[in-house]
């Protein structure tokens, strides 16, 4: 059985290197030779731990989604109102994009969805779990009258996902001069205003302000 690089330190190092290569050289720069050079080992040494590029990238996807999942679970363990939880989930994703700026570019690249569909399947499972958890927070908020009910939780999740995914891709590509110190707050305010605006059916929706619930 092959010796494995099991330590979180080494997995994190490989993930960092792979994502840095996406930034510096693009998706085409993700080669075993380049990863091995940046990690400080020879390609044959890396092959002793991973069968090839696909297995290395699968480990990167697994590592990054694991970091994302732990961050999300940490937020969801908190006792807070649904809108506050959504805000914390949003900014936890923003912080991870700041830590790994190439992640949005990597995760939405053709490499995962066309060239290596098995990797896209790994990411899709992560997205489905994420979607289910966020939709449940939204559903609870709707039940409490704090989130508009004229849109389904699933549709509101897609809007929520777009809040940081599109911003992350633009920032990762260096487009539109995205200021990650300012833009996330603007994106969140737009989304918060929409989901807490009175809906057509009831005319009521809650607005969380700290520990208070204000119903207009």
- In this structure, is residue 18 part of a structural domain? no
The C-alpha angle with vertex 159 and arms to 153 and 160, in degrees rounded to 5, equals 80
Give the pLDDT confidence score for residue 58 in this predicted structure. 86
- In this structure, is residue 56 part of a structural domain? no
pTM of the full structure? 0.79
Please identify every stretch of the chain with a pLDDT value under 50, giving residue numbers as ranges.
Answer: 1-6, 200, 203, 207-216
- In this structure, is residue 75 part of a structural domain? yes
Give the pLDDT confidence score for residue 40 in this predicted structure. 84
pLDDT, tens only, 1-42: 334 444 555 777 887 888 788 777 877 787 888 888 888 888
- In this structure, is residue 50 part of a structural domain? no
CATH number at residue 150: 1.10.357.10
Give the pLDDT confidence score for residue 201 in this predicted structure. 53
- In this structure, is residue 71 part of a structural domain? yes
- In this structure, is residue 116 part of a structural domain? yes
Domain hosting residue 110, numbered range: 61-208
Give the pLDDT confidence score for residue 205 in this predicted structure. 59
Per the CB < 8 A criterion, the answer to whether 117 and 58 are in contact is no
Give the pLDDT confidence score for residue 1 in this predicted structure. 34
Give the pLDDT confidence score for residue 69 in this predicted structure. 92
Count of the separate structural domains present in the chain: 1
Give the pLDDT confidence score for residue 9 in this predicted structure. 56
Give the pLDDT confidence score for residue 195 in this predicted structure. 97
- In this structure, is residue 152 part of a structural domain? yes
- In this structure, is residue 134 part of a structural domain? yes
């Amino acid at each position: 059985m092959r010796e494995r690089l099991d330590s979180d330190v080494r997995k994190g190092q490989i993930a960092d290197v792979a994502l840095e290569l996406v930034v510096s050289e693009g998706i085409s720069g993700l080669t075993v030779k380049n990863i091995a050079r940046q990690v400080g080992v020879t390609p044959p040494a890396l092959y002793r731990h991973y069968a090839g590029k696909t297995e290395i990238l699968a480990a990167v996807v697994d590592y990054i989604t694991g970091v994302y999942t732990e961050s999300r679970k940490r937020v969801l363990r908190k006792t807070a109102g649904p809108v506050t939880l959504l805000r914390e989930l949003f900014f936890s994703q923003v912080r991870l994009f700041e830590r790994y700026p190439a992640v949005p570019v990597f995760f939405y690249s053709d490499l995962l969805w066309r060239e290596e569909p098995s990797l896209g399947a790994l990411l899709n499972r992560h997205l489905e779990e994420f979607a289910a958890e966020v939709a449940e927070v939204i559903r609870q908020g709707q039940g409490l009258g704090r989130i508009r009910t004229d849109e389904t939780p699933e549709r509101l999740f897609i809007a929520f996902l777009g809040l940081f995914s599109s911003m992350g891709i633009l920032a990762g590509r260096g487009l539109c001069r995205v200021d990650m110190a300012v833009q996330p707050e603007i994106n969140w305010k737009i989304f918060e205003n929409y989901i807490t605006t009175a809906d057509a059916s009831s005319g009521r929706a809650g607005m969380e302000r700290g520990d208070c619930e204000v119903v207009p």
